[in-house]
Structure 1
Amino acid sequence: MDGSYEDRDGTIWMDGKLIDWRDANVHLLTHALHYASSVFEGERCYNGKIFKGVEHSERLRKSAEMLDFEIPYSVEEIEKAKYEMLKANGWTDAYVRAVAWRGAGPDMGVSAARNPVRLAIAGWEWGNYYGDAKMKGAKLDISKWKRPSPETIPVHAKAAGLYMICTMSKHAAEAKGCSDALFMDYRGYVAEATGANIFFVKDGEVHTPKADCFLNGITRRTVISMLEEKGIKVHERHIMPEEMEGMEQCWLTGTAAEVTPVGQIGDYNFEVGALCRDISESYEKMVRA
């Protein structure tokens, strides 16, 4: 699909029914637009089946709870809606975006307890998130922003407000010819990319940042299980930036990113090695099985 996301042919599920793509609108005074009271999920459908869809729907509801609102649909209802949307558009391979938010209502200030909670599910056909980096390795900038402390914001929610610095960092990275940016956390440890978790390889073992102040991705957890099943030691720990100097391989994981090798982060270079390629290929086979 090409062109603006507001002007396309297709169908979107919104508040319990399927509607024309161009009619999926909200009012200017929607609370989420002003105060970021919104949570979302990104999922991929392969060969007609959404990968770990139930886990995503469960996380969507949990993210909303962290932002102090409740989605008025059960996990089962959300799952049904996703497949209704896919069927209406005739897609068996697509990206699925579920989003829930506080809408327009009697409150228009920081407080919005009386405003309705709304839910929409859209989708589109989407290829490799990082383009040809999937083969040759992505190039990452190092963001000037840091992932915040859990004392400042609900860091484990997949909430819109947490992505503000991601957009800013990715724009800065793209201006330098990079695909993405790597964050450090509020303590100075390596954290994650703007929309993906990160893994490193050294001496045949895998090291990944401890997800104690950022989203513990579903793809991240899946890849850790895959590595352990292959008998590969995985260290979930705090990683200092200077440790990247000794790492041999690196990759990103996420629903959009899938498993994408990294060739460079700032001044640090990595080989697109055998383990990285093996995990990427194994992941591809698993999600399409």
Structure 2
Amino acid sequence: MAGGYDDRDGKIWMDGKLVDWRSANVHILTHAMHYASSVFEGERAYNGTIFESRKHSARLLASAEMIDMQIPWTVDEIEAAKYEVMQANGLTDAYVRPVAWRGSGEDMGVSSKRNPVHLAIAAWSWGNYYGDAKTKGAKLDIAKWRRPAPETAPFAAKAAGLYMIATMSKHAAEAKGCSDAMMFDYRGYVAEATGANIFFVKDGEVHTPKPDCFLNGITRQTVIGMLLERQITVHERHIMPEELESFEQCWLTGTAAEVTPVGQIGDYNFEVGSLTRHMSEAYETLVRA
């Protein structure tokens, strides 16, 4: 599939119907466009099966509730729609994007209780999120923007508005020749990358930031489970910036990122070591099982 995301052949599921890709549009006064009242998921299908699909569908509904929005479809209905989209587009290996939003209606201000909630699902072929970083290790900038405090935003929701500073940080990183940026949290602890969680290795043990102000990713949870199954010690804790110098290996996790090695963060360098490579390969085996 080539071309801009608005100009492609195929079908997108919108509010219970498959529509032509180029016709999947919304009105300019859609509330989500003005006030970020939108939640979404990112999922990958391997060999015709969406990995942890029901967990993603359930999280979509939970995210909507966190921003005071009710999606008028059940997990089962969302599941059926996702596979309908894949079949309509002839896809077995794909990235799947459900998105729910408040549309245009009687309200056009901060309040939007009278506006309908919509749901759409698209799917397309998508390769490695970080290109050749899977083998060489990604290069990360250190973002100036920080993940907000829990009292300022519903951090456990996969909500569109929370990604504004992530977009700004990734743009700044790309301008420096980096693949992504690592963000600190509001206290100055290491948090995550712009769209992926982060792990470090030291003396054969794994350290990963405690997700108390950022999204506890489904891939993150999967990888922690895989490490524990292999009897590898995992420390979920607050990580200070000065600790970066002492870590030997680093990787990112996320639906798009999968398990991607990191070779550099700012001035700190990391080995693409055996544990990192093993977890990347083991995750690939798991999702295709």
Asked if Structure 1 and Structure 2 have the same fold, meaning a TM-score greater than 0.5 normalized by the shorter chain, the answer is: yes
Specify the alignment match of 1:14 in structure 2: 14
CA distance in 2, matches of 1:11, 1:51: 21
2:85 aligned with 1:89, yes or no? no
Cα displacement (A) at 1:2:
1.5
Cα displacement (A) at 1:81:
0.2
CA distance in 1, matches of 2:151, 2:218: 23
CA distance in 2, matches of 1:179, 1:242: 22
In structure 1, what residue type is equivalent to 2:237? R
The percent identity for this pair of structures is 78
Specify the alignment match of 1:191 in structure 2: 191
Question: What stretches of structure 1 move > 6 A for 4+ residues in a row?
Answer: none
Specify the alignment match of 1:104 in structure 2: 104
Specify the alignment match of 1:230 in structure 2: 230
Helix, strand or coil: the match of 1:105? coil
Specify the alignment match of 2:242 in structure 1: 242
Specify the alignment match of 1:51 in structure 2: 51
CA distance in 1, matches of 2:142, 2:90: 40
CA distance in 2, matches of 1:124, 1:200: 31
Equivalences for 1:140-289 in 2 at 5 Å? Answer: 140-289=140-289
CA distance in 2, matches of 1:90, 1:238: 44
CA distance in 2, matches of 1:211, 1:246: 21
CA distance in 2, matches of 1:135, 1:39: 32
CA distance in 1, matches of 2:76, 2:242: 45
2:82 aligned with 1:115, yes or no? no
In structure 2, what residue type is equivalent to 1:117? V
Cα displacement (A) at 1:113:
0.2
CA distance in 2, matches of 1:94, 1:180: 22
Gapped runs of 5+ residues in structure 2? Answer: none
Gapped runs of 5+ residues in structure 1? Answer: none
Deviation string for 1:153-180 (max 9, x for gaps)?
A: 1011000000000110000000000000
CA distance in 1, matches of 2:227, 2:33: 40
Helix, strand or coil: the match of 1:32? helix
CA distance in 1, matches of 2:11, 2:193: 31
CA distance in 1, matches of 2:69, 2:169: 29
Specify the alignment match of 2:76 in structure 1: 76
TM-score by length of 2: 1.00
